Structure 1
Amino acid sequence: MQIAEVEEGGHNSKWGIEDRHWQLARHHLCDDNQIPAESLSAYLFRDYGFEVDDPSAYTLVETFIEEFGYEFGGEAFSHLYRTSDSEITEESFVTND
């Protein structure tokens, strides 16, 4: 409840997130640590197919950013997530013909 808010109560409850939720999430949910974007993206999209020429960790992060409405390098993304060297390579992906 420190990150989300109930906009309406009862059976028709609507939830919203607080302004600057990324700061609250990092503080309350992540012990002030950043989330590794490549690892989270790999987990979230592990069962999805991608049509790309050169799959990489960036493919996953790019998909995550698009899916969740972040801007790469934007304030929210940069505060809550970190990108770093990843062991995810082209060989980490399976070709589905």
Structure 2
Amino acid sequence: MITLFETNSDILVIAKENEAWTLHIGPWEHMLGMFATDAEAWTAGDWAPNEHDGQNPTEVDDDLREVATWDAERGLQVLVRPDELGGAAQDYLGVHPEDS
């Protein structure tokens, strides 16, 4: 299972098992709506977060809020209403307040 967490800023954390990486969504259009695609590729071994692509290793702690998961069996599961997500999480998940 791949889990997406958000921080109190526009930094996201993507985690799989004991690995966690920060993501900076920023103005990069190629990341819009890509969480499920990235999660599926990471699970399949076709992609992994890495420092060359701007991600940084990090730790999952209690200050992070779990906002979505992805697994092959259930697909994307958004755990909070779109209007409760920060802008970076909305963009990476491809959901927006008008979707709720």
Is the pair's TM-score, using the shorter chain for normalization, greater than 0.5?
A: no
Larger Rg: 1
Q: Which has the higher helix share?
A: 1
Which TM-score applies when normalising by structure 1? 0.31
TM-score by length of 2: 0.30
**Higher relative contact order, structure no. (Cα contacts within 8 Å, ≥ 6 residues apart):** 2
